[in-house]
Structure formats: structure tokens, C-alpha cells
């Protein structure tokens, strides 16, 4: 069975997804379709039922932090890719109040001067966190990864009113 090529389209920088093997357990990716054909008929029926009922499966709740990071990363990448053809995310129209909120969230507003740069910074934080989680068995690396993920979501919380196109 081959990997679903769509999984990597907007997640290609995440090591944990990039290095998946086709026969790897579906618990590693919040997309049970990756190993769907190898599941029992009963399990496939259960997952289909969950998708119809909830819009997602229980696989996505096994590691909600990881699932959330993959969701945020892939959706920001797609928003910048597709939405960037409609909206100019590089337009600098921040007021002082918004700039102060970003600074409080840990963004250097002298270095990151527009929406696109801040969204890309969020993705960079998630890539580094993913790399720490994937490459290390160290508890310190896990703590550092968690802090980077927390920072990414804090910045996203500030950027949320601007995350549209």
C-alpha cells in the first residue's frame, strides 16, 4: 500500500509525517486512511461510522496535541498557498495595539512585519517542535517541543482574526 500523497502536500516539512512507512500504524498520523486497507472490516466500519457521525475518528484523539499541531501547520500552509492568490498577506496594515499583542505573544515585530511572515513563523516553530519530538527520546527535548508548540498556538491566538481570505 502506498502512502496517501495528499498527506504530505502541506505537511512535507514535518519529519514525523515525512518519514512514515506505508505499513506503519495509523496512530502516527491523524488520518486513518493511511493504513485503512490493512484494518479489519469491523474497524473500517467503525471508523466510517465515526467520520459520518463526528467528521473525524478516534485516531485523532489519541494524541490531541500532535493532531492539533499537524492541523494548524497544514491549514496555515494551505491558507498561505491558496489564499495568497486572493489576498495579499504581505500587506503591512498593523496598528500599534495589534503590534503590542504580537510582541506580548513573543513575536519580534521588527523582524516579522506582516501577516505572511508571522504565519510562516508559526509553521517554523511547529517544524522545530516536530523535529525535537521525532529525533529525541529526551525529556528535555519534549519540554522544549511543548514550549514551542505552546508559543505557536499563543501567536496563532493573536493572529486568529487575520486568518481568513
Q: What is the pLDDT of residues 75-131, one digit of tens each?
A: 999 999 999 899 889 887 789 999 999 999 999 999 999 999 999 999 999 999 998
- Once rounded to an integer, what is the mean pLDDT over residues 154-160? 96
What pLDDT, in 10s, does the model give residues 23-44? 444 444 444 445 556 677 888 7
Question: How many other CB atoms sit within 10 Å of the CB of residue 125?
Answer: 24
Q: What is the pLDDT of residue 22?
A: 43
- C-alpha span between 5 and 155 (Å, rounded): 30
- Predicted confidence (pLDDT) at residue 2 exceeds the cutoff of 80: no
For the chain, give the mean pLDDT: 82
How is the chain split among helix, strand and coil, in percent rounded to 5? 65, 0, 35
pTM of the model: 0.78
Percent of the chain with pLDDT over 70: 81
* CB within 8 Å of 20: residues ≥ 6 apart: 3, 7, 28, 29, 34
**What is the mean predicted confidence (pLDDT) over 143-162?**
95
Amino acid at each position: 500500500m502506498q502512502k496517501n500523497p495528499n498527506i504530505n502536500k502541506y505537511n512535507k516539512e514535518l519529519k514525523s509525517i515525512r518519514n512514515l512507512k506505508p505499513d506503519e500504524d495509523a496512530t502516527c498520523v491523524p488520518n486513518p486512511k493511511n493504513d485503512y486497507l490493512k484494518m479489519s472490516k469491523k474497524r473500517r466500519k467503525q471508523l466510517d461510522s465515526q467520520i459520518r457521525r463526528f467528521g473525524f475518528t478516534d485516531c485523532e484523539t489519541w494524541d490531541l496535541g500532535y493532531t492539533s499541531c499537524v492541523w494548524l501547520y497544514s491549514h496555515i500552509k494551505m491558507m498561505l498557498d491558496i489564499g495568497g492568490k486572493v489576498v495579499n498577506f504581505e500587506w503591512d496594515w498593523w496598528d500599534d495595539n495589534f503590534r503590542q499583542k504580537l510582541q506580548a505573544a513573543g513575536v519580534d515585530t521588527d523582524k516579522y512585519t506582516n501577516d505572511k511572515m508571522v504565519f510562516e513563523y508559526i509553521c517554523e516553530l511547529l517544524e522545530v517542535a516536530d523535529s525535537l519530538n521525532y529525533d529525541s527520546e529526551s525529556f528535555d527535548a519534549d519540554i522544549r517541543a511543548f514550549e514551542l508548540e505552546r508559543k505557536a498556538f499563543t501567536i496563532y491566538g493573536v493572529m486568529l482574526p487575520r486568518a481568513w481570505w
